[in-house]
């Protein structure tokens, strides 16, 4: 009986703490982009992104270091940073979104939700509104994010020379996967 009471108290405390926590931050994330073109496909992965989610408001912020994108080819990485996104001049990309219908998500119990996130994204000195769909999964004290959306490079004034259009797509697929945990002040 004593063990049952202790277990019930522990579960109740866990639920109470979880209900009070509203800021979640990524302990790990992977942001990728993929360009499918006639001559070659280009993909890169970045683990520098640190998504932050406020479960009370549905505000989602993702900031990523452009030089954090890693390519299979060092030459592709060099061209990406120097010629296309000018990483020294524009070192970060930032998304400030809001989850639509955030009030329909129960962050206190495990479950999966199809979500739409809208907001401004700034990259290469340009800001455009982006709408992304994805899945948000509450699992224990973690929130998993999985989203895929398209970005048109011209919207961010990333110029692809006409002679390179067979190498680089004008629209790229972006995928965001992250595991968020309660933010703890130190």
Q: In this structure, are residues 136 and 110 in contact, taking their beta carbons and an 8 Å threshold? A: no
Low-confidence stretches of the chain (pLDDT < 70) are 1-20, 161-167, 186
- pTM for the predicted model, two decimal places: 0.82
Strand partners, 58: none
Q: Summarize pLDDT for 80-121 with one digit per residue, the tens.
A: 999 889 999 999 999 999 999 999 999 999 999 999 999 999
Which tokens belong to 83? 């010629």
**Residue-range domains of the chain with CATH:** 22-182 (2.40.128.110)
Torsion, Cα 65 67 68 72, to 10 degrees, reads 150
d(CA 147, CA 67): 21
């Amino acid at each position: 009986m004593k063990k049952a009471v202790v277990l019930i108290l522990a579960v109740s405390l866990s639920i109470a703490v979880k209900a009070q926590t509203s800021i979640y931050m990524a302990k790990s994330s992977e942001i990728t982009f993929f360009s499918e073109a006639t001559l070659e496909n280009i993909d890169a992965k970045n683990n520098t992104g640190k998504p932050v989610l406020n479960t009370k408001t549905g505000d989602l912020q993702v900031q990523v270091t452009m030089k954090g994108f890693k390519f299979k080819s060092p030459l592709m990485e060099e061209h990406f940073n120097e010629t296309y996104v000018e990483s020294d001049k524009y070192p970060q990309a930032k998304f400030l979104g809001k989850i639509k219908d955030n009030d329909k998500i129960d962050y206190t119990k495990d479950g999966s939700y199809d979500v739409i996130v809208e907001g401004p994204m700034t990259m290469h000195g340009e800001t455009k509104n982006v709408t992304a769909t994805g899945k948000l999964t509450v699992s224990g004290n973690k929130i998993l994010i999985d989203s895929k959306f398209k970005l048109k490079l011209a919207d961010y004034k990333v110029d692809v020379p006409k002679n390179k259009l067979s190498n680089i797509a004008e629209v790229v697929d972006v995928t965001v996967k992250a595991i968020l945990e309660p933010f703890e002040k130190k």
